[in-house]
Structures are given as structure tokens and as C-alpha cells.
Amino acid sequence: MTTPLVTEEVSAPHLGSAVASIKFLPDLVGRAFTVFGTFGSMLVTQQSALRQADQVLAAELRAIDLTCSRFRPDSELVAVNKACGERISVSPLLAEAIEVALRAAAATDGDVDPTCGRSLVHLGYDRDFASIVGGLSEPELQAAPAGGWQNVELDSHASTVRVPVGVLLDLGATAKALAADRAAAAIAAATGAGVLVNLGGDIAVAGPPPVGGWRIQIVDDLPGRSAQRMGPSVAIEDGGLATSSTASRSWLRGHSTMHHIVEPGTGLSVKSCWTSVTVAAASCVDANTASTAAIIRSRNAVDWLEGLGMPARLVRPDGRVSTTGGWPDES
């Protein structure tokens, strides 16, 4: 995670990356920026709300970064991971972030496990992603399975937490989605405007939506293809939309390709039959939790998502698409 930087005012319907872009009407205004080592964008339905929305967004993202980053030495999370098994007091924000991560683990039977920090370190993701995207020359290390989310002791009311010795928390699977949810809700409350916050494909909306909803263009980044493939355009009026992809954060370590979605039982980058999964849900956190778990569950993901009734779009490496829960059929 890095400190957010607003870079340009948005006035054209092309925001996003290989995950999604946003289509919007001319009277919507917003910003594009970099954040947490990825792209970001914000749109509001009122020109008069933009300045205040900027301020609220920057404050929310700074708070999440200082609280939840695994890569800055002054973050609260780093202090928790260095506590050597002692119970320590944490801020309400970090307690919330850890609670969200543990709730995601419970809801996915441990597939989305915040104790995969040491696994990621062993894979080479031990520094800001921008530092490893060009590849690592170091040889592969022995895999480190997750420490087990059930071993994290959180007292949300007292805002204390204990992480066992040898366990390294990583909140990357949920903290970015939580930041999107928190920022969208805070901006809507402060301005009364409708707002969309997109943090690297984790999208949250709040407040009154534009007519017809927020139109989101899905973009596929398929292996072996030099150009991105345009997917369907969907509309949401509330809640969140999230895409998890094995291509969005990948790097070479020696001759092996690694990515950031880890199978907790092995500590290795998961080998999935899906290149990407996009899910719509009541919140961005819920959408991101389900999309990440679907990548890990691989061939079992469709039945699992159907059982939950969650609208989802699952893409195979060859471009074939499966859908669940009422997601528009593309066949």
C-alpha cells in the first residue's frame, strides 16, 4: 500500500485497467489516482460535491494505509506482527479491518485467510508490489502454509488482538475492499451526492445513483493475448462489485510465475481453472471475499456461488465464460 495521490480530473468514459472501466454521463465528475500500488477512481453525481469528496477520500485512504499496510514500518499492522505473541491494543479501525478479515475467513471456510502473510513473503511479495512486478532473481523458497485464522484472538469491544508467534497477518484480501466501502459511505454522508469509488477493481457505490445506475464495463485480461477483451457492461445501484484475477498481481520468481491469491493449505499461488471472477454483492467486501474464494475453489466455485445466489462472472484462461446468480448470460 502506498499513500494515495490524486493525479487527474476525469472527463472521459475510460477509467480502470484490465479489470473494469466505468461508463458515465457527461454531468458526472471525478478523479483518477494511484493508490495501494494500483489505480483508483472516484465519481460523484454533483460537481459541487467534488472538492469535499476529494478530502474525504484522501482521509479514508490515508487512514487505511497507515493502519493496514504490511509494507510501511510505521503501520499498526506491522506493530501487531512484531508483537511476538503478546496481546496489544489497536485502533478501532484496525480492529474493524481484522474483524472483517476474520469474518471473510469464516464465511469461506478458511479459503480467504488473513494469516497468509508469511506465505506471500516466501513467494517474494515481501515489499511494495511496484518493486517486484519486474521479476525477482532469487530462487524459490520452501512454501509456508497459512498460520490459521482461528488462531488470531481479537477482542473487538476492547480493541485488542493477539497474533501467535510465527504468524504474519496480511489484510490485502479484504482491506482494499473495506477502504472502498468506507470511502463511498463517508463521501455520500458528507456530500449527499451519489458516489462510486473504484480501488483497483474493488468498486463500492453509495448515495443516490445516476439514472440507470452506475454502468460498469468489464474488461478481460487473458493470458497470451496482447490486447484486452471487452466484456459486458453491467449496472449497479448500490452495494459493490469486485474482480479477483490471477493476472492482476503476478510476478516472476526465477522461472516461475507467482500471483497474490494464495491457497492457505499449501502457501502457494493457487492454480485455478479461472483467470478472473467478478461478483456483485451487498458490499464491496462481500463481493471481493466471494470473488477471491471462487478463484481458490476453482471447479467447485460455480456450485458454491449458485448456492449463495450471488451474481458472478467467471472467466477461463481461454476466454470461456460461466455465470451464476442471474448475471447476464453472454452466450
pLDDT in tens, the chain (331 residues): 333 333 333 332 233 333 344 444 556 899 999 888 788 999 999 999 999 999 999 999 999 999 999 888 999 999 999 999 999 999 999 999 999 999 999 999 999 999 988 877 777 655 554 554 544 456 566 677 878 999 999 999 999 999 999 899 999 889 999 999 999 999 999 999 999 999 989 999 999 999 999 999 898 877 766 667 888 889 999 999 999 988 765 545 555 565 568 888 887 887 889 999 999 999 999 999 999 999 999 999 999 999 999 999 999 989 999 999 989 877 6
> What is the model's pLDDT at position 146?
79
Is the residue at 321 inside a domain? no
Is the residue at 59 inside a domain? no
Q: 134: domain CATH number? A: 1.10.3980.10
Is the residue at 60 inside a domain? no
> What is the model's pLDDT at position 227?
60
Which residues are within 8 A (CB) of 31 and not within 5 positions of it... i.e. 6 or more apart? 6, 7, 8, 9, 10, 41, 42, 50, 54, 57
Is the residue at 276 inside a domain? no
Enter the C-alpha cell of residue 126. 515481501
Rg over alpha carbons for the chain, rounded to the nearest Å, is 19
Is the residue at 316 inside a domain? no
Q: Give the total number of structural domains in the chain.
A: 1
Is the residue at 300 inside a domain? no
Find the domain containing 132 and state its range.
86-169
User: What global pTM score does this model have?
Assistant: 0.86
Q: How far apart are CA 313 and CA 233, in angstroms?
A: 12
Is the residue at 202 inside a domain? no
Is the residue at 17 inside a domain? no
Q: How far apart are CA 297 and CA 299, in angstroms?
A: 6
